[in-house]
Structure formats: C-alpha cells, structure tokens
Chain A
Amino acid sequence: METLVACLAGFLVSMAIWLMLSGNLMRFLFGLLLLSNGVNLAILAAGRLTPGAPPLLGTSGALPPDTMANALPQALLLTAIVIGFGLFAFALALTIRAYRSFGHLEVDRMRSAEPAEDS
C-alpha cells in the first residue's frame, strides 16, 4: 500500500511544480501547498504504513501486542506541517504585499532587483 501513497505523492509533486512554474504568484502558492502535502506523504510512506494501531502505549507503558505505527515519521510530520503552514502564511502575506506594490501577480514582470536591459 506504500505503492499507492508513493504514486499519489509523486502526482502531487508534479502538479505542484507545474503550478509553481506558472508565473502567477497565487498559483505558486497553490503549488506550495500541494508540494508540502506531497512531501509529507513521502515522509509518511518512507516510514511504512501500518493501518490502524496508532503509537499509543497501554497503561503504565506496556507495549501493545501488535506492531504500532511508526512514531518517528509522525513526529517529523507534525513539525513539517506546522513549518509548512508558517511558510505558506508568510508567502501569502508577501503575495498580497506584492500585488499592492506592483498591481499584478506576474512574477516575470517583477524586476526591481534585476531590471531588464535596454537593448
């Protein structure tokens, strides 16, 4: 079943890159969110999928008889999701700001740092 998640992750990454390359800041943000989801799925799959069985201990720390889901990728994922959200929120703020400054969202027309040469 990791196979399906792997395919889904790859699909999300493809869509994300397509959107990020589109040259529109809003679509770039869509891509950013998809990318973060795709990568999160990749982390999950790399730690193996164990249906059910969340990593919870029994009373006084007894290990349950069956194998639990891998706790390590879950901890990493929690951090990744929150950081990804922070990144998204800041990027969204920048996008709004860019629109206020330039009046459009076309990144290729934002050339304050590298003005086009007059040729």
Chain B
Amino acid sequence: MLDGASDGAGRMLGYAASILAALILVSMALMVPAVVDGRPVLFALDWAPSLGISLAFMVDGLSLIFGLLISGIGSLIFLYATGYMGDHPQFGRFVLFLFAFMVSMLGLVLARDLITLFLFWELTSITSYLLIGFDHDNPRARRNALQAMLVTAGGGLALLAGFILIGTAAGGYDLAQILAGPGLQDSNLYGAILVLVLLGAFTKSAQFPFHFWLPNAMAAPTPVSAYLHSATMVKAGVYLLARLHPALGGTIAWSMALTTAGAVTAVLASVLAMRQGDLKQALAYTTLMALGTITMLLAGAHPYALTAAVTFLIIHSLYKASLFMVVGAVDHGTGTRDVGQLGGLGRAMPLTALAAVLACASMAGLPPMIGWIGKELIYAGAETMTAAPFVAAAAVAANALMFAVAGIIALRPFFGAPVATPHPPHEAPWQMLAGPVILALGGLVVGVLAQPLLGSVVGSALTGSLLQDRAAGLHLWAGFNRAFVLSLLTFTLGVMLYLMRDRFAALVDPVLRRLPSLDDGWDRLLDGLRVLAAWQTRVLQTGRLTAYLMAVFAVVALALGLTIIRTRPEIAMELPRSAFLWLTAIFTAAGAVLALNTHSRIAAIAGIGTVGIGVAVIFIYAGAPDVATTQLMVETLSAVMFAIAALRLPGITERRSPRRQMAHGVVALTTGLCVTAIILSVTASPLDRSITSYFEENSYALAHGLNIVNVVLVDFRAFDTFGELIVVLLASFGAYAVLKRKRRAGP
C-alpha cells in the first residue's frame, strides 16, 4: 500500500519519520541532567521471569551518548533520504526499514538485559540486511546484503552463547548487576566468554579478519550507508566492547586481542582507503579505520584511553555521517562519485563543499575541530596502554593516512580546475544539505566548546558506565606534550602522503593485491555449503524406505549395544533342564527359519504360524493360560488372513545384493544379541513384585474376581483395555477404508 503512495505522500512519510526521530532525540536529551548526576534511568518489564529474562532498559552515560547519536543523526538521515530518494516508488518501504533499524539500534544500546540486548542485536542484523539489499533488482546488492547478514548474524550466534555463559558465570542477565559485580575476569568460563563475545563484537564492527563485509555493504543506498556506517550498525560491536569492559576488560587476553585486531584493522583499512577511486568506498574503509582505532583504545584500562575511545566514537559519527551525505550529494549533483572524474565543484556546490571541508578537517584532526581533540586524546591514551609504542605507531600511521584521505575527499572534488561530469553539477536540495552542514558545523562547535558541551556526558560514560574514577578533559590546548608532538608528526606524514599519493598507491598496490581476504572465498564458501546440503540430503534422505528402516534399526542396535558395553550389566545364565522347553524352543526357532525361505509363501506363512504356536506353548508352560488362548486365536487368524492375502499378492524373491544382505545381517544379529543380553541382565536383577502383590491381594477384595489377569484387564486397568479396543476398532475401519474399491466412473 505504501509503495503505491504518490510522491507527495512518500515525502510526507520521510518528514514524519524525521520529526519522530527528532522527538526521540529531545526526550533523550531531557534525560541528560539525571544521567550526568549519576542517576541512570531504568525501565523494566518481566518477559520470561522463569528464565530470569526481562525486557529491561537503562539509560546511563554510554547508552545516552549512543542514543543521542542514533536519534539525532537518524533524524537528519530521514530528512536527507527524503531529498535523495523521496520519489523512489518504494520509498515508503524504505522509510519503514530504516525506522525499524533505528528502533532496533536504540533497543540495543538501551538494553539492560543481555538477552534483550541480543534480541535487538539480531534485529539490527535483519533490518540492515533489508536496507543493504534495498536495491533488490541488483544481484550484487542481494549478495552483499546476505553476506553482511550472515557474517553479523553468525557472530550474533556466538554472542548468544557468550551471553548465556556470562549469565551462568554472573548468576543473571541483568547488565546493571553484572557490571556492579566483581567482574568475570576470574571466572573459569572467562576464556570461552571472551572468545564468543569478541567473535560477536568483531563481526559486527567489521574488525580484521571479518572486515570484508563492510565495504561490500556500500551496495546500499547512500542514506543507509551514511547511517549504518557512521553512528549505528557497525558501532554496535564497539558499544558492546565498551559496555562489557568493566566485566571482561583489563586482562592480558582482552588487551592483546583488542590491540591486535584494532591495530591491524586500522592500518590495513587506511592503506586500502588510499587506493579507492570511488569516494564512497574510500569512506567505507575509513570507517573501518575508525572502528579499529576505537577497538584498539578499548584494549586499555586507563581513563585516558577510554575517554579517547568514547570521544572518538562521537567525533567519527559526526564527520562520517556528514561525509557520506556529502558524497551522496556529489553523486546526486554530478552523476558520479569517482574522484578521478570530479574537480572544481566548489563553485557550483558551495554548501556541499563547506560541509566536506569542515568534516574532512575533523577527520584529519585539524584544530579547532573536535577531531583535533580526539586525535590528541588517542595519543594521550595510547601512552597509557600496555603496548604503548606499538599502539602509538599504529595510531600515527592510521591517522596520517586518514589525513591524506581527508585531503583527497575535501580537496580533489571541490577545488582545482572544473572537470566535465556526467551531468552539469548543481547544488543538492535543502533536505540533503541540512544533514551534512549541521553535522559538519557541529564538529566545529563541539570542538571549540568541547568541555562544556561534551565533558559532562563523556564524563558520566566514563565514571558511570566504564567505572573509571575520572575522565580526561576535552581541551583544544592540552599543553606542549608528547601527544602534541605526535600530532605534528601525523600532519607532516599526512601532507607527504597526500602529495605522493599516486606513488604510494603504486607502491602498496602489489602487496595489497596479494593479501588474502575472506571475500574472495565467500562465494565458494556459500556454494560449498549448498553442495554439502544437497549431498547430505541425498545421502540421508535417499527416498528408499529400507534405507530409513535400516537407519532406525542400526540406531537401536547402536544405542543398546553401547549401553551394554558401557554399563557391563550382570548377566544371569541358567539353562533349563526341561526337555519339553528345549523342544518347544527348537520348534519355534525352526518355524522362524522356515519363514525366511523365498520359495514358497505358504511354507513361510506356516513357519510364522509355527512360531506363534511355539510361543503359545511357552505361555502355557509359564502359567499363562489366558495369554496362550489369545495368542492361539490371534495366530490362527493371522495365518488365515495371510493365506487369503497371499492369493492376491505376487510371489517373493530375495533381491538384495550379497553386500547389502551382509550389512542387514549384521544389524539384525546385533540387535537380537542386544535384546537377549538385556533380558538376561534384567532377570539377573531382583524382581520387584509389589504391583503384582497388590493385584494378588486386592483382586478378590476389591473386584470380586479370582482370575487375577482378567481382573487386571477389565478392572484395575480397564481404561487401558478400553483404549486397546478403540485401537483395534480403528485398525479395522482403516483396513476397510484402504481396501474398499473405488467405484470407477465410466467403462
């Protein structure tokens, strides 16, 4: 229905979503004073109390920062999307997906219960799948959407296991309690928890070696990329690492894993970003760099490192959302986003250029942008970490590369000589300008007024959520210290890299080409999975009924046999001296052997009858005349029915190959042996006659019957007998229905 809406209605929907997101932003902002005062806002609803799961939410410093970013940037993205694709025939659907994604993301960062968190975690995977694959006519988009979902949802499964282990180790799923508790670092489940949680976080935040899905996810419409890869989706993993830092962080394993993955991702991604011609792809790789840097900083345990992580997260959201929107505007205004085909757009698109320059200044870490403060904090934080020289070197390398990439994005399309573009450049509509300009200016404003605007919120995230004793201050000028020197070094390297970008690309390209990536094998992996599925279906579901029957009996034989081998029960062996019993047993067994023959069906039926009579004789011998009578009648009836049926049925032949006969014989003999062994072990253990005694004592007293078996059947267990009657009745109805010949119409 939404798809059929006219352009105007679609746009109204976009505006409405934008306003709704803005209202969420306002309501989150209203919680700031309480949270800063150290009073987190809590909300809980019982969900599955028997499992200790509740639909619980909490707004503390960390959640609040994420909540503000998600709703604030979300509001601008809706506005932007309305301008970017408001006339798309399926824009209504798009708004729905995007809004569902935003709500899932908010649920994720506000969840106080681990299972609730997991639920929203998976919801973001599913909704991002819909968003990345929104252009569903394009097979590439479908493939990349599926890849993103499989990678993140696969990590999500690991995460669920990790959460359940956390719940076991901490005694509950309530995050507030887990974080307030003594931490899980000493738990004997810690190793497993850490591996599983990191798998979840690294896949979501696209850390090496799971980084490949993120650049592919650029198949999404630009507003989606701007949202998912700035403040939301990919930040979920980082959020989780920060959230669980007090409970899991501080160990060597944590520090090593995060430092390595973060540093490798950051440096590799920024090198890869340098060689992208497509502006959007370049931004995708810089997102990886930012995520790597934050992960690396979260490896630390010092307030400086953690302040740097939280601050850089805010900074990155602001400039990255802005830049993605700028690239979308450039694409919209010129018809290309290939940096080689762009130049001198500043004159035609002044506001876009302004946003690009400001956002890139923040990304490059130039003063007085907030990016400068972030970079200083990163260096200050790196000094406090265990592997300080390594972290600092990785940070400098990544930041210098980032500087160069920022230069490419800010300068090359907008300055220099104008280049002919697919269509003449024009400025984007106001809806598409509001977002990038506001966010880019925001980067400047919070840069100048960092401490008054952000200080208290970052502080509450540090003291309230990450449980540090203090936060580092956010100052443009922190004095002439080592961090400042590293910044100067970064700028120098960055300028050099920018100037020698072509030579640098030529230098690293051959190396990068040879780097293996999981993306190369991805399609083969999926194909392999399909082949495997088809193969196992063919093997397990052959469609041959005897194969199924064989499986059933083999499992029975295996289960019985293993139980007997494992428990080694006592076995009573006591052969009878009664010749009568021996004769009966041989007679019965001979009947069974006769039933195996294939030459004469009547002989086989006679063999079956012989067995029935032999068993009846054993019943008589064992003092069971009622049973024997019934057995004789049933066997007679069976033989008669069989004989009648045989008149209408064809002869029988043994069609099995010798090999199959062998296999069937083994299974049949094993099962038979197991049955014998189990009966023998049962008879070796003492008999509990209490039920029988009850029947013996009460059958006359309660039911006035002398034949105990009869009394049991018609009195003590009358309902069983009644049920048995119904079964026989139903069988006869069924047989009648099956055998009734259909009256054929016509000749």
Does B515 reach chain A (CB closer than 8 Å)? no
In the complex, what residues of B have CB within 8 A of residue A22's CB? 546, 654-656, 664
The docked-state distance in angstroms from the alpha carbon of A71 to that of B630 is 15
Q: How many B residues have CB within 8 A of the partner chain?
A: 105
Q: Contact check: which of B708, B724, B738 meets A97 at CB < 8 Å? A: B738
In the assembly, what is the distance between CA of A68 and CA of B739, in Å? 45
A104 to B425, CA, bound (A): 78
Tell whether, in the assembled complex, residue B549 and residue A20 are in contact, meaning their CB atoms are under 8 Å apart: yes
**Cβ of B618 and Cβ of A46 under 8 Å apart?**
no
User: Which residues of chain A have C-beta atoms less than 8 A from B523's C-beta?
Assistant: none
Q: Which residues of chain B are near A50, meaning CB under 8 Å?
A: 622-623
Q: Let me know if A108 is at the binding interface, CB within 8 A.
A: yes
Among B592, B673, B730, the most chain A Cβ lie within 10 Å of the Cβ of B592
Pick the interface stretch among B227-235, B265-273, B319-327, B608-616. Answer: B608-616
Q: For residues 76 through 98 of chain A, which have their beta carbon under 8 Å from a beta carbon of chain B?
A: 77-79, 81-90, 92-97
With contact pairs A46-B682, A71-B696, A99-B649 given, residues A4 and B546 touching in the complex (Cβ less than 8 Å): no
Q: How far is the CA of A94 from the CA of B645 in the complex (A)?
A: 11
| Interface contact A8-B731, CB-CB below 8 Å | no
**B625 contacts A by Cβ under 8 Å:** yes
Docked complex: A1-41 residues within 8 A CB-CB of B: 1-24, 26-27, 29-30, 33-34, 37-38, 40-41
A90-119 vs B, CB cutoff 8 Å, 1 = contact: the mask equals 101111110100001111101101111100
B720-747 contact mask (Cβ, 8 Å, vs A): 1 or 0: 1100100110111011101100000000
Contact with A along B548-570 (1 / 0, CB 8 A): 01100100000000000000000
Give every chain A residue within 8 A of B536 (Cβ-Cβ). none
B644–chain A nearest beta-carbon distance, Å: 9
Contact with B along A47-60 (1 / 0, CB 8 A): 11111111111111
Give the complex CA separation of A76 and B683 in angstroms: 18
By a CB distance below 8 angstroms, the chain A residues around B645 are 92, 95-96
Residues of B bordering A, CB below 8 Å: 538, 541, 543-546, 549-550, 553, 572-576, 578, 581-582, 585, 588-589, 592-593, 595-596, 598, 601, 604-605, 608, 611-612, 615, 618-619, 621-627, 630-631, 634, 637-638, 641-642, 645-646, 648-650, 652-656, 664-665, 667-669, 671-680, 682-683, 687, 689, 691-692, 695-697, 699-701, 706-709, 712-713, 717, 720-721, 724, 727-728, 730-732, 734-736, 738-739
Extra inter-chain contacts (8) besides given A23-B545, A24-B655, A57-B699, CB under 8 Å: A2-B679, A37-B612, A79-B713, A85-B637, A92-B641, A99-B649, A106-B655, A108-B546
CB-based closest 8 A-B pairs: A61-B700, A14-B672, A10-B676, A69-B623, A93-B735, A1-B576, A114-B543, A6-B679
A-B contact list, 22 entries, CB within 8 Å? A2-B679, A4-B575, A8-B618, A11-B676, A15-B593, A18-B596, A22-B664, A30-B605, A34-B611, A45-B679, A45-B682, A46-B679, A48-B683, A51-B578, A58-B706, A61-B699, A71-B696, A71-B709, A72-B692, A83-B727, A93-B736, A114-B543
